[in-house]
Chain A
Amino acid sequence: MKRIVDPDLARDVSAIAAATGLVGVSFGAIALAAGTSPWLTVAMSMLVFAAASQFTAVAVIASGGSLVAAVLAGLLLNVRHILLGLAAGEQLGRSWAGRLIGSHLLVDESVAFTLAQSDPRRRRLAYWTTGLSLFVAWNVGVIVGALAGRAVGDPHALGLDAAFPAALVALLLPSLRQQRPRRVALVAVVVALATTPLVPAGLPVLLALLALPAALLPSRRPATAEGSADSREPPDTSPTDRRTQ
């Protein structure tokens, strides 16, 4: 525990936090325009803290949908958090305080940042740094947007809709250098894109989990480090023969 703050991590998280804050400003403005009062908009952002689902819920209402439909559409987008939470279990520790507070900071980015870290201490640091930074940035942004009543800087014009997917891919790259996760990711992408036009928002990324059996397919290149680390893989026949001699 030599240093609490990791300068590289702080810089990387700042980039995403800045983008999140700007998107928050636009959410505040849009929610206000859709008829939600400033204080309810801010309350929603602090209590829900899930950008995509909030935009969806507000859009359902703006397009004439009922409150029930808006909440259900928003919750459907958040079902993925069950899985994200399992992945973050290690970072939240065994204390109830850690789990109760840490769970609220569970967002795609906080999990993505931990995936890119190699040792447990850094994963923990990455999780909390990302979650807390995005929570503050998002809510400060929403307060500004809800008070100003209009977006100061249009996220669309600033290209922020490209920033988030690119950031996710960059954080996934260390995992994707191994064959098995890469194969799973490729099938997941195909399944999600193919099902997006057919099912409600939120389901395609869950259907993408159907890609998991792709990880069980026998590896064509058993010589990779990943293959040798997995004892369930059938060992290459010729070296086995040699070993038994």
Chain B
Amino acid sequence: MTLVAILLFAGGTYALRLAGPVLYNRIDVSDRTRTWLTLPTVALLAALAATATLLPGGEFDSVARVVGVAVGIVAALRRLPFVVVVLLAAGTTAVLRQLGLT
């Protein structure tokens, strides 16, 4: 990467980041709209979690990761602390990979 490319990359990313907050302040957001705004956010983050688990880089490549994430989700559903959820997901995947599973 060159400095010019990095500056374009950074400038573009910052513009994308700033667009939301600027737009948010232009429109008068009611409590009701705010509630509805969480729906696209939930959709986006759920889609992100699913693709990062099953198809990162466009294809299925790791059983160990899927099992790890599944263990993490079960822990979260059982209302275990967030830190435990993260450690269980990473730990399970790490152990499975130690055992030779990809």
Contact = CB atoms under 8 A, between A and B. Distances in A.
A204 B55 CA distance: 11
Contacts of B21: 85-86, 88-89, 92, 99, 102-103
A108 B1 contact: no
Contact of A161 (B29, B37, B65, B87): B65
B8 to A, nearest CB: 5
Interface in A13-72: 14-16, 19, 31, 36, 40, 43-44, 47-50, 53, 57-58, 61, 67, 70-71
A227 B57 CA distance: 39
A32 to B, nearest CB: 11
A75 B51 CA distance: 18
Give the interface SS of chain B, mostly helix, strand, loop or mixed.
Answer: helix
B91 A159 contact: yes
Interface residues of B, number: 74
B51 A185 contact: no
Interface residues of A, number: 91
Contact of B39 (A40, A171, A184, A186): A184
A169 B72 contact: yes
B69 A108 contact: no
B18 interface: yes
Interface of A: 11-12, 14-16, 19, 31, 36, 40, 43-44, 47-50, 53, 57-58, 61, 67, 70-71, 74-75, 78-90, 92, 94, 99-100, 102-104, 106, 108, 111-112, 115, 156-173, 175-176, 180-181, 184-189, 191-193, 196-197, 201, 204-206, 208-209, 211-212, 215
Interface of B: 1-3, 5-10, 12-14, 16-25, 29, 34, 37-59, 62, 64-65, 68-69, 71-73, 75-77, 81-83, 85-95, 97-98
